[in-house]
Amino acid sequence: MIRQNLHTHSIYCDGKDTIDEMVREAIGKGFTVLGFSGHGPCAVDECAMSEEGLASYIRDVREAREKYRGQIRIFLGIEEDMMQRVPSRAPYDFVIGSKHFITVGGQVKSIDYSADESRKIVELYGGDFLAFARDYYEDVAKMADFPEVDIIGHLDLLMKFNEDGSFGSFTNPDYISCAEKCIDALVGAGKILEVNTGAVARGYRKDPYPERHLLSYIRKKGGKILLNSDCHDRKMLDCCYRESLEMIRKSGFDSMMVLTKDGFREAPLDEFAGKALVP
Ligand SMILES: [Zn+2]
Ligand SMILES: [Zn+2]
């Protein structure tokens, strides 16, 4: 059976745990594949790793890979923000590309900071949530042309504080059309989209990203997906995994991507364990 998480943060960025603590927790929870994806250095992101931190992060992940060889497969990744791409893909086994910020009215605003901050963004768009969504998805779609990016992080992050629909409707045809155009570009470029349970772990949402309609659309377009917990706290390493696998199955998927020493490969959904393999 496969149990994988490729989206993991540590004390080198905004996570709570050391690399070693995270690995031990993963082994205890029966994970077979663990990828680290610290926030790459980014001038506007106060959660990002410093250049010095990045060097220590890479060293720690490599050490852990050797130390725990035979118990769990460990991969070195990075979560790059669109605003500051990695200078070279070379040290990394995989790269997650994410959009965390939007520039509006000459200001750089965080999309995943708080409901208040999201409200301010919509205000800067003159109260027009759809204009925000259009800009957001047009930007995310640009990652189709980022060769270093394997996985697109939290596709509809702009809905983080909007599960109650207070900013905009998930079913508005204009909103869906912006999101679908973005999915078309990313799937067309062979990017992997993640089902991300991070906002569930932090209590912001009940469902993972992307929202169900979009997940079904990804399936319809033949898109490739995987399941990640965007883990910032080792206790939440497998947060919502069982429920998410169910949602993925109901959306029509029969496979997900898994990272191996030879790169990504597609594996049947039945091979993925929802429950912890070790009691
Ligand atoms: Zn992120
Ligand atoms: Zn993340």
- Per-residue pLDDT tens over the stretch 73-98: 999 999 999 999 999 999 999 999 99
Q: In this structure, is residue 278 part of a structural domain?
A: no
Q: Which residues, chain by chain, have CB under 5 Å from ion ligand 2? A: 79, 230
Q: pLDDT of 223-259, one tens digit each?
A: 999 999 999 999 999 999 999 999 999 999 999 999 9
Cα gap 119→168, rounded to integer Å: 11
Our CA angle for 137, 142, 143, nearest 5°, is 105
Q: In this structure, is residue 18 part of a structural domain?
A: yes
Tell me the ligand closest to 13's alpha carbon: 2
Ligand 1 center–CA 39 separation, angstroms: 8
Q: Residue 279: its pLDDT value, please?
A: 40
Show the domain range for 108: 4-271
Ligand 2 center–CA 171 separation, angstroms: 26
Tell me the ligand closest to 38's alpha carbon: 2
Q: Residue 277: its pLDDT value, please?
A: 52
Q: In this structure, is residue 277 part of a structural domain?
A: no
Ligand 1 center–CA 11 separation, angstroms: 15
Cα gap 32→111, rounded to integer Å: 32
Q: In this structure, is residue 119 part of a structural domain?
A: yes
Tell me the ligand closest to 229's alpha carbon: 2
Classified as helix, coil or strand, 259 is: strand
Q: Residue 273: its pLDDT value, please?
A: 81
Ligand 1 center–CA 159 separation, angstroms: 13
20: domain CATH number? 3.20.20.140
Ligand 1 center–CA 154 separation, angstroms: 7
Partners of 94 in the beta sheet? Answer: 77
Q: How many domains does the chain have?
A: 1
Other Cβ atoms less than 10 A from the Cβ of 202: the count is 15
Q: In this structure, is residue 279 part of a structural domain?
A: no
Q: Residue 86: its pLDDT value, please?
A: 97
Ligand 2 center–CA 7 separation, angstroms: 6
Cα gap 256→274, rounded to integer Å: 13
Ligand 2 center–CA 230 separation, angstroms: 5
Q: In this structure, is residue 63 part of a structural domain?
A: yes
| Weakly modelled stretches of the chain, pLDDT under 70 | 275-279
The residues, any chain, with a CB within 8 Å of residue 14's CB and separated by 6 or more, are 39, 47, 232
Q: In this structure, is residue 241 part of a structural domain?
A: yes
Ligand 2 center–CA 202 separation, angstroms: 12
Q: Cis link prior to 91 (omega < 30° from 0)?
A: no
Q: In this structure, is residue 276 part of a structural domain?
A: no
Our CA angle for 40, 46, 52, nearest 5°, is 50
